Amino acid sequence: MRIAITRLKGKEGDDQARCARRGHDCYAVSPLTGEMNSDQIEAFIQDVRDKKFDCIFFTSALPAQKIGPLLHDLPLPRVIAIGPQTAKALREYGIFCEVLYEFYSRAFVPFLGEWIVDKKIGIPRSDVPNVKLMQGIRDAGGVPFEFQIYSLIPTYEPLDLESAEGIMFTSALSFKSAIWKRREDLVLIAIGEITAEAMEEAGLIPDVVGDGSLEGTLSELNLFLLMNPGG
């Protein structure tokens, strides 16, 4: 299947190879672009230098890619990555990190357990609010410090789906920001349950819902195609 995958402009990474390993072709479509905030990046790096954090939590690969080169020669606290792609981005710069067992930030507090009490957590992320994560850390006794190092801005460009047989939305915001023409023959794919909820709220039921990862979603897609060989 040829799949259009929503990605920030220029951030499709190794999607093509990962899809090919599961028998699919893909290309990126970009309902959003990322604009970096140099002041927030500098403030975060300075706080790392000043050893203000007991832990750093990377909630996506983009902050890891942007900040990794600035961290590799600094003494670091405990570092947590949300998934293998984020961890890979950090490890490319020699940064040791632990990896969450789920692809959702809600797994962060349970992962740390009682250790989180009175710990200061530095979180470089986008400007899209994650109230549940921040409140969850506070409720568990931790102290979150959020750095909005980049903004997600709609491109307002219609998605090119002419050659696509399926479209995979990789976040709720990418779905909400997308301008696209719906087709009856287009397989609708949500990378995870939060994205699926956004689609359902808009009156679209995804054909496939993944586990939050590209690989897991492609596995669910293959199962869907096996069970629906004609459509």
Q: Per residue in 43-62, pLDDT tens?
A: 999 999 999 999 999 999 89
Q: DSSP 3-state assignment of 178? A: coil
Separation of alpha carbons 29 and 207, rounded Å: 19
CA-to-CA separations, 19 to 12, 123, 159, in angstroms, rounded: 12, 30, 20
Q: What is the pLDDT of residue 195?
A: 97
Q: Which domains does the chain have, with CATH numbers?
A: 2-31+157-227 (3.40.50.10090), 34-152 (3.40.50.10090)
Position 96 scores a pLDDT of 95
Q: Which two tokens stand for residue 90?
A: 């950090």
Q: What is the mean pLDDT of each run of 10 residues along the chain (231 residues)?
A: 92 87 95 95 97 97 93 95 92 95 92 98 94 97 97 95 97 96 95 96 97 94 90 57
Quick one: pLDDT at residue 51? 97
pLDDT attached to residue 129: 87
Instruction: Give the type of residue at 27.
Output: Y
* 3-class SS of residue 78: strand
Please calculate the CA angle 52-55-58 and round it to the nearest 5 degrees: 115
User: What count of Cα atoms within 13 Å lies in the side-chain half-sphere of residue 223?
Assistant: 11
Which pLDDT score, from 0 to 100, does residue 231 have?
Answer: 57
E-assigned strand segments in 54-171: 55-58, 78-81, 98-99, 120-126, 143-154, 166-169
Helix (H) or strand (E) holding 64, with range, is: helix 61-71
Mention every residue, 6+ apart, whose C-beta is less than 8 A from residue 81: 58, 64, 87, 90, 97, 98, 99, 100
Instruction: Give the pLDDT of residue 230.
Output: 66
